[in-house]
Amino acid sequence: MARLAHPRTFIAEGGAPIGRLARVAVGSWGCDAWGMTRIVFSVDVNASADRVFAAMVDWSAQGRWIPATTVTPGRNEGRGVGGELSAFTGVGKVGVLDTMVITRWDTPERVDVLHTGRVVRGIGIMRVEVLDESTSRFYWAEDLDLPLGPVGRLGWPLVKPAFALGMRQALGKFASLVEIGELGQSVDE
């Protein structure tokens, strides 16, 4: 059904993904020699790159499309290199706090973050690719250092299917909200 983009193609500067992906597709999975786990997701959105980027960096609205998550902008209101964010995923007071520092900000194309928390550590990359004047592809990639060392790496195959399902649903909802005009109205640089 969907052709999967090789994550190194996505990460490469100016690189284009292989083939045209289905509405929501999961990219490659795997661990590198240092135990980092790479995940890549994408969704095609019937909207301009500017609108998709604006929706992508509307941190406070991420809870509308990412289940059980509240994102709070910190330093610099979460804008530009050096901006900070925190994302809490959970129910009530039980969950995981993901703190991040923005390490790259290229409007309207790409934002990279460094995950600096106790549980979530690694690099996140969000990128928007123009497909045509009214269609864009939103990529979400993560190179994560799984918690709990070898135990986390052994447990990842058990958690991965639920994680993938949640990401597919989240990105599908993101695309729908952008397409109906509920997200992506403006962005402050």
Q: Are 122 and 152 in contact (CB under 8 A)?
A: no
The predicted pLDDT at position 85 comes to 96
Q: Are 24 and 172 in contact (CB under 8 A)?
A: yes
Q: What angle do CA 53, 189, 88 make, to 5 degrees?
A: 65
The predicted pLDDT at position 77 comes to 94
The predicted pLDDT at position 18 comes to 31
| Per-residue pLDDT in tens (0 to 9) along the chain, 189 residues | 233 333 333 333 333 333 333 334 444 445 444 456 788 999 999 999 999 999 999 999 999 999 999 999 999 999 999 999 999 999 999 999 999 999 999 999 999 999 998 888 899 999 999 999 999 999 999 888 877 878 877 888 888 888 888 888 999 999 999 999 999 986 544
The rounded distance, in Å, linking the Cα atoms of 159 and 86 is: 23
- For residue 46, the SS3 value is coil
Question: Between 3.30.530.20, 3.10.50.40, 3.40.718.10, 3.20.20.140, what CATH number should domain 7-179 receive?
Answer: 3.30.530.20
The predicted pLDDT at position 154 comes to 82
Q: Would you mind telling me the total number of residues written for the chain in this entry? A: 189
The predicted pLDDT at position 150 comes to 80
Nearest to 42 by CA among 68, 16, 60, 80: 16
